[in-house]
Structure 1
Amino acid sequence: MNMPSSIPSLPHATLLIALLCAAIALPRPAISQIAAPPQAPIAVQPTSKDASAPTPTDNIRYGYTIHQSVDTGGHIVSQSGSGAMYDTLVNTQTGPRILNFSLEMRTVDPKNTPLFDHLSTNSFGYGGDPNSVTLLDVAKGKLYQFRGNFRRDRQYFDYNLLDNPLIPPSSTPYVPLLDSPHLFNTVRRNSDLSLTLAPLARFSVRLGYNRNISEGPSYSTIHEGADGLLMQFWRNGTDTWNAGLDYKLNRQTIISYDQFVMRFKNDTNWQLAGLNYQLSNGTPVALGVDLSSVWAAPCATPFLANGTVNPTCNAFLGYNRSAPTRTLAPTEQLRFQSASVPRLSFNGRALYSATTSNLDHFNETFNGLETRTAIRESIINGSARVRRINVNADLGATYQITPKLTASNLFHFWDFRIPGVNSFTEVDYTGKSLLIAPGATTTTTTADAQFLNQKTKTNTFILEWETTSQLRLSAGYRYRSRIITDAGGDFIPIHENWGLFGAAFKPTPKLRINFNVEAMYADMSFTRISPRQLQHYIVRSTYRPQTWLTFSGTLNFRESRNNVQTVNHLEHNRDFSFGTTIARSERWSLDLNYSYDDVFSSTLECYVSTPAPPTAGVAPSVCVAAATPLLSTGYYNAPTQYGSLGFTVSPVKRAHFTGGYRTTSVNGTADAPNIRQVPGSLQSQFQTPYASFAIDLAKNWSWKGDYNYYGYGEGGAIGLTAPRAFHGNVTTLAVHYAF
């Protein structure tokens, strides 16, 4: 079921501009030198001849100092075990690659280079890697600054326990799902362009454009009596345009206005993935992905004596669905910041957005049999329209009361309204056998109108006191009010009260400790897992006894609860981490890191199930309107350990070596209402040792090598699927040429 990766297409204008500039800027090898790493783009170049004068060994052409480098080579990959999991977690394949290309051009004299003073570009990953990127930065003094990037990501996902019904071996017939019925093999292409005109002037203009496309094949399912496997042709696209103005009243005050226009297109469509059986008349048919040994009347068994499908069973002869959606979201934003008033600084933002989303031509066609409702065929057509009106504002101010006492206040307002209407017409054809044409029709038209509104007001006040040069304290209070209403008549007011405290302690120049705590109480919650009580503690410390030795550590605890009847939600996330860096000389360094993360949640679950899970109890009648509601404690516990060791060694000036080891281990458990459920990734280990070298062969030339080992395994049972463990060896060899 693995789908081959396609060769990536060329990026947009950013890469083309970079390649043209590289072709123009090819230097004479006799005067070239090894390129320095690309530097951050600058808006203004020095005008002094002394400041921009090149060194005698600089490569100068067309009025620019030019540095370039290219890394060409490829990957050699060997892999064993689950190819699906290797592609999901790694997806690096054998083949030649352009591993990296960089170009940097800096003007010698800005007066003689009218187009740009500085240009830098960097590209990597082209030739077949799952991630490829091109970056471009161009600037001309005080006139403009342009930035662009293109990124392509292949998103392959085939974790075979995701939404897998886990068919028991006793099923007749037994057709295990070795791959996930919800598989992704999509590609995302993202282009981002921005241009700033007169960035340092009193009045400047900003223009931008972003295009984000995600497309490719994937799998999904649909329940129509049986659960049919669908081929989902994914196609989503978003275009965003923005224009902004910045007005600098003075050095301390800036006012900015932005206009954004976002357009979203969803053209994903679905169709039946395959017809793998036959009726007695030779018609192809699909029984779905959840064949069961228990079949209700009139379908006592799914197969007849001659091996053909029983025509009175739940099955698919065909299925198609399309839901083209168009969304337009114009947004206006006004921002300001000022420090013109002595001892007072403030900033603010106001945003208004009115989004409209239309589904004009929904179409769903089912051809098959659903025995429960005696539907032989159904056709659904309709449309829907949704709006989202969003008003958002922030206002913050900081006042320096005394040199050591500061007060700040932040007010946040958020109000959104989502009204929507829809109308659908369904035509159902009756029938009790797949061998008989659809019968009488029933037409039903339904229309509905819904809305969801929420208004949130939050105010945070903090007082900060620098008691001494070694100790700084802060204390604050936050109040949040939320009011949620919907078309069902619900009116849900939620009020939260927060206490805030922080301390920064620096007893010596070598030791620094930060401590922060937040505690919250709410009088109501909107969802079962929304906390009504919350505490969050963070401790960070850094100790540097020597300039070459650094210790750091962090404690991050988050505890929350929702202790009400039939909920009793508890959760925590407790993280311990520390690291050490040793860099005694330029010839070697060592990094050590370790973290332990304990993620836990527990919530009462009320439901109805046949048969009942062995651990379920009887729930109170308030839970579910059923004769015998069930009650379980749904819990999730995932203690995770991460460790890494890395070192660098340069025994001689021309040779550099790095290596290390990284590992992630999870030993967790979760509630298993399905008796065939297995722990899967909740009990797993992922190891990635690595090593690399770089050797300078000659002037401007070096040889590079990189080795990565990937090993994934699970500690629990495999289950009724293909094994998920794998081992992969990825060796990368490259030649680096700087000129």
Structure 2
Amino acid sequence: MSNYSFIPAPVKLRRAAFVIIFCMAIVSAACTQDAQTAPAAPQEPQQQPTPSQKIYHGYVVHQSVDLGGRIVEHSGSDPAYATLVNLASGARVLDQSLTMHAVDPAHAIFFDQLSTSSFGYGGDPINVTYLNVSKGRIYDFRGSYRRYRQYFDYDLLANPLIPPESNPFVPALFSPHLYNTLRQMTDLNLTLAPLSKVSVRFGYNHNINQGPSYSTIHLGTDALLSQNWRNSTDNWTGGVDWKPDPKTTFSYDQFITHYKGDTSWRLSGLNYTLSNGTPVSLGVNLSSVWGSPCSSPFNPDGTVNPACQGFLAYTRFAPTRTLYPTEQARFQTSAIHNFTLNGRLLYNGSNSTLVNYNEFFNGLDTPSLRQSVETGNARVQRVNVNGDIAAVWQITPKLSASDVYDFWYFRIPGINSFSTTSYNGTSLLQPPGAATTATSTDYQALNQKTKANTFVTAWDVTPKARISVGYRYRSRIITDSAGDFIPIHESWGLFGAALRPTPELRINFNFDGMYADNAFTRISPRQLQHYRARATYQPRPWLTVSGAVNIYEARNNVETVNHLEHNRDFSFGATIAPSEKWSLNLSYAYDSVYSTTIECFPSTPPPPGATTAPPVCTAAGAPYQTNGYYNAPMQFGSIGFTFSPVKRVHINAGYRMSDVDGTSEMINIRQVPGSLQSQFQSPYAGVYIQMAPNWTWKADYNYYSYGEGTPIGPTLPRSFRGNVYTLGVNYAF
């Protein structure tokens, strides 16, 4: 079986897919005919149909379906193409939609509004179906189904696992952390009596992610594991809304979430043998420098040296179950003149259990571990109380004030108990020796209490200018199981302005500034400034120009940390549409992401640029220091052109690109920039011709190109080129 989900289907399967799509079209038409015979009863008409609309026994019906397929050809890296694009050849239901509106709702017994749409079926990695049905004051139903094939095989992740002295050199043909999982999401929501004073809501969501994947484990060497991924979540919701008057609503919600984690791990890559014929894995970091007592991984006859670190077997299973019951009460009212009030209170008490954890290792690890078995269990609780209340007072027609108070408290106590039985030994050819058993129990806890208050005043200076000024104070106290606590106090300054100097020009500006007296993590900011500016200018009805600036600056510049970061984004866009026959869209963005933080680590030998670490790091066994910088300037650009020379012909074409020219701290000499210095381009074009009143022929072309402008490392190249042709016929009525 191939690792890649994009491999084209055999010709017979493609033909079968075309037949299935044709049958689906017939069934869709039959369903429409069934709608024509639906029973009807008189009621007040809501909307008179236009002469061009089709009416079937009280319903205005519109339906369309796009049937066709894709022709795909690509060269270069198959794994990279599957990771970033993953489109394959074959027949498709490109798009489908159906809407039904009752002309006289009284004639509709079951529903007076129905709409459904879907796309991607037949082989695309993303398939989606939506269904909305409602009957006036009786009910409103909304449902969806989404299916997403997630493929990930970026072989650069193997580089840090391959030592410089690897001999023989074994290139990483696929990532040791490969994913080929399928995610399926179902959402169902029903509201009863949506327009009444009392309405009831029900909902259900099912989310499952499963499929094959790979991982690694480090026990002397880094072994490749087959990871059978399977995690699922079920959500049940129920709620009631009470509207005693048009300006007041009280709501109560109950949420229940159940998580199941059933991912398991098993040894893979048994590609060598011992002298007695037993399969063995030397891991992905094959090296010729193994040290005593293993001078070489191979014997003269090509079998594995039994004194070397290796894996004969490995399994791990960690079944996890978590239950999240949550209650929430909300209210909002504007019944008091010039005064709006809303509030929310949420309580959650969850329990997570790990039952029957089991990890088995059979092999050889330094210095003399021959086999081990670890079993145990764990339990974690989380109690969470969260609430807020907000008020807005319209003091005068031009002056208003608002205040929001937030409270959040959670505590997470957890306990685990594990027992490990270790068997000694010095040779893979010998059975495990004497056993020793150790049992450990650990209790940990984390509590956090957060209080925040935000006060803002807004003033309409003129009909063309509005400014707002505010202050936020937030207090956080974090406590661990030892009783140690970290108090953090933040002060925020807030400013906003909305300007419209002319009818054609709109400008918005916001500023947030914060100072904190402490930080919980090394990269948590103690000072930050956030600037946001947006402008839209429309000098002509056919010309719109817009731009935005988003600048985020943060720092935690205390001793041994010296964390600095920024994210600066500048974007521009323009739309030119002088007539219905043609239009042009332009966009460009520049984004600069940068951070630096002192890193302390052990290394033999130290990497270039490393300096002596502070005493606190040296005492912890990390004698070297670097500034840990990360710099990723990125550019995004696109241009799109549409042209309709005649009413029945529509043409579009364009170009999209992204470019990253970044650098980062390279502690491991096997590491290369990879996607940090890469380019992705995608020109496209499309032609749509209306051949008959209800028939349109469609043709689309997309070109995908990915490349990296740096050395590829000890792996296969990741660049690729791809051409995707999509042909289809749209039938609409």
CA distance, structure 2, for counterparts of residue 174 and residue 81 of structure 1: 22
- Do residues 288 (structure 1) and 283 (structure 2) align? yes
Question: Which range moved further: 105-114 or 284-293?
Answer: 105-114
Contact kept? 2:324, 2:350, Cα under 8 Å:
yes
Q: Following superposition of structure 1 onto structure 2, how do residues 410-449 of structure 1 map, counting pairs within 5 Å?
A: 410-449=404-443
Aligned CA distance change for structure 1 residues 181 and 135 (closer, same or farther; 3 Å): same
Using the TM superposition, give the Cα deviation of residue 547 of structure 1 relative to its aligned residue in structure 2, in angstroms: 0.9
Structure 2 counterpart of 1:144, one-letter code: Y
SS of 2:83's partner is helix
Question: Which range moved further: 168-177 or 279-288?
Answer: 168-177
Using the TM superposition, give the Cα deviation of residue 112 of structure 1 relative to its aligned residue in structure 2, in angstroms: 2.0
Using the TM superposition, give the Cα deviation of residue 716 of structure 1 relative to its aligned residue in structure 2, in angstroms: 1.0
Gapped regions of structure 2 (runs ≥ 5): 18-23
Contact kept? 2:161, 2:222, Cα under 8 Å:
no
Structure 2 counterpart of 1:126, one-letter code: Y
- Do residues 26 (structure 1) and 26 (structure 2) align? no
Using the TM superposition, give the Cα deviation of residue 57 of structure 1 relative to its aligned residue in structure 2, in angstroms: 4.1
Using the TM superposition, give the Cα deviation of residue 167 of structure 1 relative to its aligned residue in structure 2, in angstroms: 2.6
Q: TM-score, normalised by structure 2?
A: 0.95
Contact kept? 2:318, 2:354, Cα under 8 Å:
yes
Gapped regions of structure 1 (runs ≥ 5): 11-16, 30-44
Using the TM superposition, give the Cα deviation of residue 3 of structure 1 relative to its aligned residue in structure 2, in angstroms: 3.3
- Do residues 673 (structure 1) and 674 (structure 2) align? no
User: Paired residue for 2:21?
Assistant: none
User: Paired residue for 1:322?
Assistant: 317
Aligned CA distance change for structure 1 residues 455 and 628 (closer, same or farther; 3 Å): closer
CA distance, structure 2, for counterparts of residue 231 and residue 137 of structure 1: 41
1:608 to 602, 607, 610: 602
Aligned CA distance change for structure 1 residues 415 and 163 (closer, same or farther; 3 Å): farther
CA distance, structure 2, for counterparts of residue 711 and residue 495 of structure 1: 49
Structure 2 counterpart of 1:24, one-letter code: C
Contact kept? 1:168, 1:174, Cα under 8 Å:
no
Aligned CA distance change for structure 1 residues 5 and 688 (closer, same or farther; 3 Å): closer
User: Paired residue for 2:187?
Assistant: 192
Aligned CA distance change for structure 1 residues 627 and 127 (closer, same or farther; 3 Å): closer
2:657 to 651, 660, 663: 663
Using the TM superposition, give the Cα deviation of residue 675 of structure 1 relative to its aligned residue in structure 2, in angstroms: 1.4
Using the TM superposition, give the Cα deviation of residue 326 of structure 1 relative to its aligned residue in structure 2, in angstroms: 0.6
Structure 1 counterpart of 2:87, one-letter code: T
1:359 to 354, 376, 383: 354
Structure 1 counterpart of 2:273, one-letter code: Q
Using the TM superposition, give the Cα deviation of residue 346 of structure 1 relative to its aligned residue in structure 2, in angstroms: 1.1
User: Paired residue for 2:521?
Assistant: 527
1:495 to 473, 483, 489: 489
User: Paired residue for 1:704?
Assistant: 698
SS of 1:544's partner is strand
Q: Following superposition of structure 1 onto structure 2, how do residues 136-155 of structure 1 map, counting pairs within 5 Å?
A: 136-155=131-150
User: Paired residue for 1:382?
Assistant: 376
User: Paired residue for 1:128?
Assistant: 123
Question: Which range moved further: 642-651 or 163-172?
Answer: 163-172
Aligned CA distance change for structure 1 residues 450 and 163 (closer, same or farther; 3 Å): farther
User: Paired residue for 2:450?
Assistant: 456
SS of 2:160's partner is coil
User: Paired residue for 1:308?
Assistant: 303
- Do residues 401 (structure 1) and 395 (structure 2) align? yes
CA distance, structure 1, for counterparts of residue 123 and residue 527 of structure 2: 49
CA distance, structure 2, for counterparts of residue 599 and residue 428 of structure 1: 47
Using the TM superposition, give the Cα deviation of residue 25 of structure 1 relative to its aligned residue in structure 2, in angstroms: 1.3
SS of 1:653's partner is coil
Query: How big is each residue's C-alpha offset from its partner over 1:473-505, in whole Å with a ceiling of 9 and x where there is no partner?
Result: 110000110000111332100000000111111
Query: How big is each residue's C-alpha offset from its partner over 1:17-40, in whole Å with a ceiling of 9 and x where there is no partner?
Result: 9998763313899xxxxxxxxxxx
User: Paired residue for 1:587?
Assistant: 581
Q: TM-score, normalised by structure 1?
A: 0.94
User: Paired residue for 2:20?
Assistant: none
User: Paired residue for 1:342?
Assistant: 337
**Cα RMSD after superposing both structures:** 2.1
SS of 2:106's partner is helix
Question: Which range moved further: 675-684 or 193-202?
Answer: 675-684
User: Paired residue for 1:113?
Assistant: 108
CA distance, structure 2, for counterparts of residue 5 and residue 102 of structure 1: 27
Q: Following superposition of structure 1 onto structure 2, how do residues 221-236 of structure 1 map, counting pairs within 5 Å?
A: 221-236=216-231
Structure 2 counterpart of 1:636, one-letter code: Y
1:504 to 498, 502, 505: 498
Query: How big is each residue's C-alpha offset from its partner over 1:235-266, in whole Å with a ceiling of 9 and x where there is no partner?
Result: 00000000000000101100000000000001
CA distance, structure 1, for counterparts of residue 531 and residue 416 of structure 2: 46
User: Paired residue for 1:34?
Assistant: none
User: Paired residue for 1:64?
Assistant: 59
Structure 1 counterpart of 2:4, one-letter code: M
Contact kept? 1:164, 1:180, Cα under 8 Å:
no
CA distance, structure 1, for counterparts of residue 415 and residue 620 of structure 2: 31
Aligned CA distance change for structure 1 residues 232 and 397 (closer, same or farther; 3 Å): same
SS of 1:710's partner is strand
1:619 to 613, 620, 623: 613
Query: How big is each residue's C-alpha offset from its partner over 1:528-583, in whole Å with a ceiling of 9 and x where there is no partner?
Result: 11110100111111111011111111111111111111110010011111111111
Q: Following superposition of structure 1 onto structure 2, how do residues 123-272 of structure 1 map, counting pairs within 5 Å?
A: 123-165=118-160, 167=162, 170-272=165-267
Contact kept? 1:312, 1:371, Cα under 8 Å:
no
CA distance, structure 2, for counterparts of residue 213 and residue 398 of structure 1: 42
SS of 2:80's partner is helix
CA distance, structure 1, for counterparts of residue 42 and residue 414 of structure 2: 57
Structure 2 counterpart of 1:214, one-letter code: N
Aligned CA distance change for structure 1 residues 28 and 355 (closer, same or farther; 3 Å): closer
Using the TM superposition, give the Cα deviation of residue 342 of structure 1 relative to its aligned residue in structure 2, in angstroms: 0.5
Using the TM superposition, give the Cα deviation of residue 687 of structure 1 relative to its aligned residue in structure 2, in angstroms: 0.4
Aligned CA distance change for structure 1 residues 519 and 18 (closer, same or farther; 3 Å): farther
User: Paired residue for 1:36?
Assistant: none
Contact kept? 2:192, 2:200, Cα under 8 Å:
yes
User: Paired residue for 1:37?
Assistant: none
Query: How big is each residue's C-alpha offset from its partner over 1:372-424, in whole Å with a ceiling of 9 and x where there is no partner?
Result: 2x111111111111011111001111000111001001111111111011111
- Do residues 597 (structure 1) and 591 (structure 2) align? yes
Using the TM superposition, give the Cα deviation of residue 159 of structure 1 relative to its aligned residue in structure 2, in angstroms: 1.0
User: Paired residue for 2:507?
Assistant: 513
Aligned CA distance change for structure 1 residues 222 and 344 (closer, same or farther; 3 Å): same
Structure 2 counterpart of 1:442, one-letter code: T
Aligned CA distance change for structure 1 residues 18 and 257 (closer, same or farther; 3 Å): farther
CA distance, structure 2, for counterparts of residue 188 and residue 628 of structure 1: 41
Contact kept? 2:662, 2:677, Cα under 8 Å:
yes
SS of 1:716's partner is coil
Structure 2 counterpart of 1:633, one-letter code: N
Structure 1 counterpart of 2:32, one-letter code: A
SS of 1:295's partner is coil
CA distance, structure 1, for counterparts of residue 296 and residue 374 of structure 2: 30
CA distance, structure 1, for counterparts of residue 580 and residue 53 of structure 2: 26
Query: How big is each residue's C-alpha offset from its partner over 1:619-675, in whole Å with a ceiling of 9 and x where there is no partner?
Result: 121124256710111000000011110111111000011111011011110010111
Aligned CA distance change for structure 1 residues 560 and 393 (closer, same or farther; 3 Å): same
Aligned CA distance change for structure 1 residues 5 and 85 (closer, same or farther; 3 Å): closer
CA distance, structure 2, for counterparts of residue 558 and residue 304 of structure 1: 58
Aligned CA distance change for structure 1 residues 18 and 198 (closer, same or farther; 3 Å): farther
Query: How big is each residue's C-alpha offset from its partner over 1:98-137, in whole Å with a ceiling of 9 and x where there is no partner?
Result: 0011111111322222100011100100000000100000
Query: How big is each residue's C-alpha offset from its partner over 1:569-604, in whole Å with a ceiling of 9 and x where there is no partner?
Result: 010011111111111111111111011001100111
User: Paired residue for 1:470?
Assistant: 464
Using the TM superposition, give the Cα deviation of residue 170 of structure 1 relative to its aligned residue in structure 2, in angstroms: 3.8
CA distance, structure 1, for counterparts of residue 454 and residue 30 of structure 2: 56
SS of 1:86's partner is helix
CA distance, structure 1, for counterparts of residue 335 and residue 104 of structure 2: 37
CA distance, structure 2, for counterparts of residue 714 and residue 720 of structure 1: 14
